[in-house]
Amino acid sequence: MPQTEITEDYEKIDALMEEAFAEVGNFSVPIIGANRKVASGTLVRVGERVCILTAGHVRRVIRSGEKVHISIYRGQHSFPIDTSMLYEICPAPNDAEREEGPDLALWVVLEPEKRETIASIKSVYSLNPATADAVSQWNAKLGPLVLCGHPKEGVAFVDEAAGQFDASAAIRQLFTNPEFVTYEKRGEYDYIRVFIEKTPNGPKDYEGCSGGGLWWVPLVGSPEKGLEGYTRPVLVGVVYYQQEMEDRFEIICHGYDSIHRVMEQLGRGSMET
């Protein structure tokens, strides 16, 4: 079925996106560290390896302790991972949030039992050549973008001593206007900027969304039948920086070329798995 440009039928798009939101949300995890630090990550598979794709600076604010916690179930729980059992690929180590980047990392989950549990509960997005082909077709006019992350304001800390928290609330911000999206390539990294208008019911800020995924939802249809549905969402970016403006937020992400660079570095590395 051919892809179709975004129409003015936003009500129909919103209805379709409810299903897409659930799909991309199942790839996303909140990451909780010491001192109530919150970030986001996307579960990805590179070859046979289960990994967490996130922002590079997250290691400073999250991985300072012996464990990190991610959320793989709904409701109150704890799923700790020893930081020693996370092999990190970070092409340009960055210990501070900077607008200019680069700021991207891939954590490989080394412990077999943890990998199996994650993959049995959550969806794990495959990063492979077929994914690259899909990304090459990305066109902001051919489908909305969805930002999926976990704002800190939506995390309830239940029992910090036991690492118990409830991070069921996730944000899935929809972008249907291509004018609110820009793309640029600088050196070996690429960057996507998205602009989110402030609303009374929206988040106060996007703290905690660093490491979250930016997804393209390709719409399908025809001139005769109009908008009919969407195909599988495609991961096109990773959030790493936010800044507040007068009437909107600017969210800066790395694009897929940057993600591919991290994948290539993982392929050249060696580790115990």
Q: Report which of 267, 273, 266, 227 is spatially closest to residue 16, judged by C-alpha positions.
A: 227
| pTM for the structure as a whole | 0.86
Q: Per residue of the chain (273 residues), what is the pLDDT tens digit?
A: 455 555 556 677 777 788 888 889 899 998 887 667 788 999 999 988 999 999 998 877 665 567 888 888 776 677 888 888 889 888 665 555 677 788 999 999 999 999 999 999 999 999 876 666 666 666 656 678 888 888 777 676 666 555 566 665 566 676 666 677 888 888 889 999 988 888 887 777 788 889 999 998 888 877 777 777 888 888 999 999 988 888 888 999 999 889 988 888 887 655 544
Domain ranges of the chain: 10-268
CATH no. of 10-268: 2.40.10
Q: Compute CA distances 223 → 3, 178, 241, whole Å.
A: 11, 20, 39
For 193, counting Cβ atoms within 10 Å of its Cβ (0-12 exposed, 13-18 middle, 19+ buried), the class is middle
Coil, strand or helix: which one is 85? helix
